């Protein structure tokens, strides 16, 4: 389940508005699920940037054997929009489980970011 959820978050890297942006998990499995999702994202998606089309197509039925490359956000406007959401979450005291920063020093890349314990009043929960 975790690889499918992670893939849903990074799908098209914001190039189209079809990626998942939140997941609700029952409190009885929340800690275990969050740690597995964090480990998966850090191992598979967080290390590299570039053209994701150069990588093999992701398959839900096969084990992932290589790291996936993340593409950039579509433009500077979207990059700034995403970074504003991330900063708002940090300032409000939401827990950053992983990510939350720029990825690399060129282009509009953002680390895959997981927040936990987000107030329903924050834009990162209600406006993404």
Query: What SS3 state is found at 126?
Result: helix
Q: For the packed helices 2-10 and 30-40, what is the interaxial angle rounded to 10 degrees?
A: 60
Q: What are the structural domains, with CATH classification, of the chain?
A: 2-126 (3.40.309.10)
What pTM does this model have? 0.77
pLDDT of residue 57: 45
pLDDT of residue 6: 76
Residue 63 in tokens = 């084990």
Q: How many residues does the chain have?
A: 128
- Could you tell me the mean pLDDT of each successive run of 10 residues in the chain, 128 residues long? 76 63 89 93 69 49 56 88 93 94 86 89 78
104: burial class by Cβ within 10 Å (0-12, 13-18, 19+)?
A: middle
The answer to whether 9 and 30 have CB atoms below 8 angstroms apart is: no
pLDDT of residue 46: 61
pLDDT of residue 22: 80
CA distance 7 to 19: 9
The angle at the Cα of 113, spanning 13 to 14, to the nearest 5 degrees, equals 15
CA distance 44 to 21: 18
CA distance 90 to 84: 10
């Amino acid at each position: 389940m975790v690889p499918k959820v992670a893939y849903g978050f990074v799908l098209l890297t914001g190039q189209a508005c079809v990626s998942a942006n939140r997941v609700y998990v029952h409190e009885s499995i929340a800690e275990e699920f969050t740690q597995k999702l964090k480990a998966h994202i850090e191992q598979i998606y967080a290390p590299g940037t570039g053209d994701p089309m150069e990588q093999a197509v992701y398959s839900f039925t096969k084990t992932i054997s290589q790291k996936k490359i993340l593409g950039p956000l579509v433009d500077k406007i979207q990059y700034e929009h995403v970074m504003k959401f991330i900063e708002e979450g940090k300032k409000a005291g939401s827990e950053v489980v992983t990510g939350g920063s720029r990825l690399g020093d060129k282009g509009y890349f953002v680390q895959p970011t997981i927040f936990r314990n987000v107030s329903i009043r924050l834009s990162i929960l209600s406006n993404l």
